[in-house]
Amino acid sequence: MLSAMLGEAWHAMGANRMRTALTMLGMVIGVGSVVLMMAIGQGAQYAVAQTISTMGSNLYIVISGSTSTGGVRSGGGGGPTLTVADAEAIATLDGVLNVAPVHQGTQQIVHGPNNWSSTVVGTTPPYLEARAWTITDGYPFGESDVRSATRVALIGQTAATNLFGAEDPLGQTIRIRQSPFLVIGVLGKKGQNLDGRDQDDTVIIPLTTAQRKVFGNPFPGAVRLIMVQANSPESMPAVETSVTALLRQRHRLRDGQDNDFFLRNLAAAADSAAETTRVMSVLLGAIASVSLLVGGIGIMNIMLVSVTERTREIGIRLAIGARRKDILSQFLLEALMISVAGCLIGLVLGLGGALLVNSLTNMAIVVSGAAVLVAFGVAAGIGIFFGYYPAHRAAALDPIEALRHQ
């Protein structure tokens, strides 16, 4: 029975090829648009997720507070309110995985005839683990280098390229503020962070070396910020509370007195960026879905025309014993075949469009099986939904009136 119906539906579609093709065009455009837009939206989500992963996970940044001199107030980081001792105390708190005090700034780096302005980060060994930063060549500095203020450096990919070109930087010497530093490691590539800064344009050196040889430090032990990594996302609120209470106690701040430091939750900023891209992905899919609705209306219109043209044929079928549900099934099947055929063609065009966008723009494109199944299922559902009224109208025809139709 089903095979006979499929044959009849195929014959009906082939009898008016141009009309069938134009009817499918709405579904082709709709499904192609949905697949392409969802691929772009999910690609944006993937790109943001990759950027977030380069920052490290479960991170807080504690920034030293502002100062006020003669009525002039500085911003965050302007006052020497954080120290290495604060970082050591934070490391003893429950839920804290890594703590790294940081003293950083922009300096001119020199190697031979080349020079490059780069961010110099003075810190301790846990910084690399907190930031999930790998070393592609060489090895990291250790606690002994921090204690001895050793002049060694880890260099990022961008800084290495601009200073050394194609030359291997490992074992080479660079100069920072006239002090020579031995490059002992090359950092893995991270790319841009959420604010667009190139994370690879970085040179990392021991904290004590940065304080004594590069930046100077009129306040012994003072640092500009402390990076704190919680051991899990669930423990982050407790860690935030503990760090705030500890620093207020250590800095002898009275009740009601403002903090002399700022605590920034990098995970919250990352979640906000990820949520923005998720909303954008849904919005793109919703906009593209409008064309599916238009395609469904096109199917309904053409099926209504088909019912009118085939009224006499319907009357003959009913007269020789066809049941009304057979007529209903026949026209529903025709609408479904048009919808599914348009969906398959649209799917191919959507995938081709996604690959084209990727090749022309290098934009991250992600085509998930879920998106394909959703587009296919929605297209089939639209075919049945918009095809039901014409099919029901055909099945409800009076056989005698239908036979009289010219």
Checking if the pLDDT of 223 tops 60, the result is yes
Is 64 a member of any domain?
no
Q: Is the pLDDT of residue 73 over 50?
A: no
Q: 38: phi > 0 → left, psi -120 to 50 → alpha, else beta; which?
A: alpha
Res 353 pLDDT > 60: yes
Prediction pTM value: 0.63
Task: Check whether residue 106 and residue 184 sit in a common domain.
Answer: yes
Domain identity same for 98 and 138: yes
Same domain for 241 and 109: yes
> Within a 10 A sphere around the Cβ of 218, how many other Cβ atoms?
6
The two tokens of residue 71 are: 């009525």
Cβ atoms of residues 43 and 284 within 8 Å: no
Provide the residue range defining the domain that includes 252.
82-259
The pair of three-digit structure tokens given for residue 373, joined into one six-digit string: 């199944």
Domain final position from 203, 226, 259: 259
Mean pLDDT of the chain: 80
Report the alpha-carbon distance of residue 316 to residue 340 in Å, rounded. Answer: 29
Q: Which pLDDT belongs to residue 343? A: 81
Q: Are residues 238 and 93 in the same domain?
A: yes
Quick check: is 318 in a domain?
A: yes
**Range in 146-155, 176-185, 239-248, 251-260 the model is least confident about:** 251-260
Same-domain status, 26 and 166 = no
Q: Is residue 265 part of a domain?
A: no
Q: Region 301-325: what's the mean pLDDT?
A: 74
Q: Is 266 inside a domain boundary?
A: no
Torsion angle of C-alpha atoms 287, 292, 298, 303, degrees rounded to 10:
-160
The reply to whether 229 and 103 lie within a common domain is yes
Chain centroid, CA 218 distance in Å: 43
User: Do 17 and 114 fall into the same domain?
Assistant: no
Number of folded domains that form the chain:
2
Last residue of a domain, one of 259, 285, 306: 259
248 and 354 within one domain? no
Sequential DSSP letters for 108-169: EEEETTEEEEEEEEEE-THHHHHTT--EEEE----HHHHHHT--EEEE-HHHHHHHHTTS--
Residues 214 and 312 in one domain: no
Q: Are residues 288 and 398 in the same domain?
A: yes
**pLDDT per residue as tens digits for the range 17-59:** 777 777 777 778 877 877 887 787 777 777 766 666 566 678 8
Whether 128 and 156 share a structural domain: yes
Q: 103, 211, 213: which is closest to 151 by C-alpha?
A: 213
- In this structure, the answer to whether residues 354 and 251 fall within a common structural domain is no
